[in-house]
Amino acid sequence: MDYDKLTVVMRRLALEAGDKIMEIYDGPEFEVMTKSDDSPVTAADEAADAHISAGLRAAFPDMALVTEEQADSHDVTAMTFLIVDPLDGTKEFIDRRGDFTVNIALVEDGVPTRGVVYAPARGRLFYTGADGVSVEEGGALDKESVGTTQPIRVSEPDNDALMVVASKSHRDQATDDYIGKYAVRDMTSAGSSLKFCLVATGEADLYPRIGRTMEWDTAAGHAVLAGAGGEVVRFDDHTPLRYGKDGFANPFFIAYAPGVELQKA
């Protein structure tokens, strides 16, 4: 894999897809449709998916590609593939809360190794470089030239005063019960894969997810967190979260900065 090319292509496609999403987000009322699994989808999801898919297939024609909006047609047996959620956090988008992202990732041998997470309404762009180290890019976010990048790194957590991030749209009693096992200094909520990025930048120490997710929801954020020194493990046995699973469904998981003393379920 040409990681330099991959980084350039994923970054550019994420920014371009973000523009398409924001045209609809900032426009008049848009139609909200329902997919076969009862989850919502909009024209923004579909436009971003079409753009990213076309760009990735043109750049990497021999690489398997999985996207949320085309999931019903996927039968990927390869352990190395590209995976896309063109608009993660559709509910946040519909409610115009801003915490939605464009997610593009590379999975190699079941592990997300490169990824980009772009939050167009927040103007925040996170990605792994060709060397696998994660950065946040600031400035104007020009599509053709990279601006100022800052390497990001997870926190050195204080287990007597942890900062926890939880889902904005999927918070429940089971999550609160698990968080209650820790000594928590403060909590914040965020939508979409931004939660991984908050752990990656050290803005949070711990993100437990006790709820349904799919691999395209998590792969890019997982890659960004790993490139910042973080880890993602299964909730049940604390083994590494793997990708390429049948049906692309994830088990519950915990994303965290090493040094957090993980509690059992």
Binding site residue list: 68, 85, 87-90, 217
Locate 86 and state its tokens: 């063109």
In the block, which residue shows the tokens 């379920």?
Answer: 265
Instruction: Give the distance from CA 187 to its chain's centroid.
Output: 20
Helix (H, G, I), strand (E, B) or coil at 154: coil
Q: Give the number of other CB atoms < 10 A from CB of residue 108.
A: 15
- Of 53, 49, 56, 57, the residue nearest 24 (C-alpha): 49
AA letter at 142:
D
Q: How far apart are CA 119 and CA 18, in angstroms?
A: 8
Token pair recorded at residue 163: 């900062």
Neighbours of 16 (CB within 10 A): 17
Annotated binding-site ranges for Mg(2+): 68, 85, 87-88, 217
Count of alpha carbons within 13 Å of 143, Cβ hemisphere only? 10
Annotated binding site for substrate: 68, 87-90, 217
Tell me the one-letter amino acid at 10: M
CB 178 within 8 A of CB 207: no
List Cα–Cα distances, 97 to 84, 119, 191, in angstroms. Answer: 22, 12, 9
